[in-house]
Amino acid sequence: MDAIVKDSAPEAAGGEGYAQVQKIKTVGVIGAGQMGNGIAHVSALAGYDVFLNDLKKEAVEQALETMSHNMDRQVSKGLISQDDKDAALARVKYAKDLKALGNCDLVIEAATEEEDIKRKIFVDLCPVLKPEASIASNTSSLSITRLASVTDRPERFIGMHFMNPVPVMELVELIRGIATEDETFTATRAFVASLNKTIAVSEDFPAFIVNRILLPMINEAVYTLYEGVGTVDAIDKAMRLGAHHPMGPLELADFIGLDTCLSVMQVLYEGLADSKYRPCPLLVKYVEAGWLGRKSQRGFYDYRGDTPVPTR
């Protein structure tokens, strides 16, 4: 199977897979944060009814505001019409608890990148789902096989890793667990294609493809700062202008979230047992301080003023 798959419509998946994606009409999304609201956004625009769940109703209300703002930008660029926006937002409903996801055909988990939290969600979710429903995890690094093992349907469990920001980024990594059936993979591939995304198929190894390559680069940039080779500004400027990266690695780390960066590096370090993946002590220190990047207003940059200022 090709590692990169681009399907322009659900029909491209063909046969039984297309028949299954035809049945996917209602999508549940667990987690209304940056990733969850983006997944809800693209799913609703593609015509799916979406039930968005979070521990706090306020998080869902904020997610709807974010979706509306992001869709306004798409309207201004001529990517969608105002009618498209209005119809999509009308398709997104608040799910006050996991029971409200009981009639969903597909549930996508987009909670925080902590395995214990995700496992508990799946344990609580399975009893309320209909037997034919599938589950996908948006994990960026954790074992799909291990997550699937706590469910009652490992054959209908798959990794569906969207890139951030979801409405803008074209790629979705698909990861099969050891028990994932062909029908689940085919139907999921067709679903992702219906969102107008490009698919990269990854084996179930720690951090998959994108983060296996990206996060060690970010970690090395933090080591470069830690060892005094360059300042925050110099490191980011060097990679923007010297390697033509759209964002410097430390700026990107702040955008991703330093806690997420650390979690992925810990998964790589523990899962592959190679010292080259050891998280930089400075990254650990920032996370311990609660300096997590943009979401906490401080990371490698301080975002509390009008212009971000390097913190080192």
pLDDT tens per residue, range 119-173: 999 999 999 999 999 999 999 999 999 999 999 999 999 999 999 999 999 999 9
Does 230 share its domain with 151?
A: no
- pLDDT score recorded for residue 240: 97
Question: Residue 115 sits in a domain of what CATH number?
Answer: 3.40.50.720
- pLDDT score recorded for residue 53: 97
- pLDDT score recorded for residue 6: 43
Does 18 share its domain with 147?
A: yes
Is the model's pLDDT at 35 over the cut of 80? yes
Q: Could you read off the pLDDT of 59-97 as tens digits, one per residue?
A: 999 999 999 999 999 999 999 999 999 999 999 999 999
118: nearest Cα among 267, 15, 1, 280: 267
Give how far the C-alpha of residue 235 lies from the chain's centroid of Cα atoms, to the nearest Å.
Answer: 26
Does 157 share its domain with 216?
A: no
Domain endpoint, select from 168, 202, 236: 202
Does 42 share its domain with 190?
A: yes
Q: Could you read off the pLDDT of 95-112 as tens digits, one per residue?
A: 999 999 999 999 999 999
Distances (CA, A) of 109 to 9, 36, 40, 62, 263: 24, 8, 11, 18, 17
Domain endpoint, select from 170, 202, 234: 202
Does 82 share its domain with 222?
A: no
- pLDDT score recorded for residue 7: 45
Does 156 share its domain with 88?
A: yes
Is the model's pLDDT at 182 over the cut of 70? yes
Question: Residue 300 sits in a domain of what CATH number?
Answer: 1.10.1040.50
Does 38 share its domain with 179?
A: yes
Longest dimension (CA), the chain: 57
Q: What is the dihedral of CA 9, 12, 15, 17, to 10 degrees?
A: -60
Question: Residue 227 and residue 187: Cα distance in Å, rounded?
Answer: 48
Q: Structural domain of residue 156, as residue ranges?
A: 4-202
Domain endpoint, select from 176, 202, 228: 202
Contact 113, 34 (CB under 8 A): no
Does 68 share its domain with 190?
A: yes
Does 274 share its domain with 186?
A: no
Does 95 share its domain with 143?
A: yes
More confident residue, 87 or 2: 87
3-class SS of residue 107: strand
Domains of the chain: total: 2
The catalytic residue positions are 140, 161, 173, 211
